[in-house]
Structures are given as structure tokens and as C-alpha cells.
Amino acid sequence: MSAPETLEGWFALHDLRRFDGAAWDRMPAPDREKAAAEARDLIADAEALTDGGIGLSITYEMVGHKADLMMIHLRPDMTQLHDLEQGFDRSMVGSCTSRVYSYLSVIEVSRHAAPQGTGSNVEDSPYIQARLYPELPENSRFVCFYPMSKRRQGDDNWYLLGGSERAELMRAHGRTGRRYAGKVTQVVTGSMGLDDWEWGVTLFSDDPLQFKKLVYEMRFDDVSARFAEFGPFFVGKRLVPEGVGRWFGG
């Protein structure tokens, strides 16, 4: 049984941090002001791609106990992702944060996902290009990120199914997702060989209730009911660079 061929786009890093308020309070007031300004500039530079590269970055302040901040970076080269996380680590505010979770992956699309009539040059399809190099909805107020894998247990082993059966299950799954067009934007990244799970799913919406509705409805699709294993869910609201100083208390 041969593996279906995939096309790859930008590398992705979900960088989740916890803010150490006690360490921040011990910092002298002038240093806190400087650290907040530095953090704002770092995030603004990443989002503006001041290094002259291509890609995207977007930042969210998280809701709940799992993390306080999530920076999502998309870049063509993994080294650029490393530079971004190291730059934040070495900043003044970096000394007041710890990385509680991260997820490394790459945007991927199956060659079979191209619309009919695309022809042999699937990678040249505007539809495929838009999925490999997406425009993140930076004005969306909320984000939901979670990793997932396909089950490999007994008769419910995704990787032992025939290609046509997998394709039909995913088409049905896609029909559920399309009912949320205009309400939820989805970016799927692959992480086999890069991280502990097999895929990362990032959802964007102005209404966080749509995350619950979409994921709940998809649980009843055969492909999820039989084969999906889900990791932790992280939900946050948009933090624009201009608000970073306020968020850090600067």
C-alpha cells in the first residue's frame, strides 16, 4: 500500500508562553517599560515581516490556564522559526515567560485535494496555492488550536484503509466543514516526523461558539468517530501589537 503524495507550503510554529507575573513585578519600573516596548516591537516586526521575508505571524492572548500567549508563525524556512522563538527568548520580557507548549509542523495538502479539471500540474492550481500559502484572517477575534492524529487500533486503523475509502471519508468530513464557510477559517498543518501528533488544526472566527459547533458536529462524521484522536485545545483572542504593552502591564 503506497502513501498518498502531499504538497508542502510554509513551515508553522505555534509558540505558547506563560507569563511570570512575580518575575515581572520584581523588575524595576523603568525596565518593565523598556521590556514591554521591546516585546511590542518584536511582535510587530514579526507580523510586519521586517526581515524582508515572506510568511505570516499573528498573536493571541489565551483564555484559561494552559497558556497566556500564543504566537503563530508561518515561514518558508524552519531556521526562520527558530530565529523568531530565540529572539523572543532572549528579550527582556522573555525572562518573564516560559514556553508551556509548542507545535512544529508544515502546511500540507494532498494532491488528491485539488478540484477536478486541475490537470497534471496540481501544484499550480490557485486553490492549492491558497491552501499552501494561506492568508491568516488577522482581524478574526478568536483562535482555536489543537493537534490530532488518526487512530491505529485493531479494525480502526486509518493507515490500513484503501485509498478510495479514505478519500470518501474525508470528502464527507469536508462537507461538514463547508457548512461553516464564512463563519470559521481553517488551516491544517502536518507534523509527522516533526512533532508528537500528526496534524495541527487552527481555526479562526469572530464567534468562539462556532468552534464548539464545528468540532462537535465533526465528531459525528465517520472519519472522526472511528479514527480521530485529539490533543489539548487552546483558545485565545487577538492581541494586536499596539496592545502588547498594555497586556504586559507596560
List pLDDT tens digits, range 110-158.
766 555 555 557 777 888 888 899 988 878 999 999 999 999 988 888 8
Question: C-alpha cell of 32?
Answer: 518593565
150 closest CA partner among 118, 97, 197:
197
Where are the domains positioned within the chain?
6-247
Contact 75, 16 (CB under 8 A): no
For the stretch 89-103, pLDDT in tens is 999 999 999 999 999
Q: Considering the entire predicted model, what is its pTM?
A: 0.92
For the stretch 161-185, pLDDT in tens is 888 888 888 888 888 888 888 899 9
| Strands of the chain, DSSP E | 6-19, 56-63, 69-75, 97-110, 142-150, 152-153, 156-157, 185-190, 199-205, 228-230, 234-238
Report the mean per-residue pLDDT for the chain.
Answer: 90
25 closest CA partner among 241, 250, 246:
250
What percent of the chain clears pLDDT 90, i.e. is strictly above it? 63
Which of 146, 159, 180, 216 is flagged as catalytic? 146
Question: C-alpha cell of 153?
Answer: 487500533
Handedness of CA 89, 91, 97, 102 (dihedral sign): negative
Is residue 60 part of the annotated active site? The answer reads no
Superfamily of chain region 6-247? Apc35880; domain 1 (3.30.70.1030)
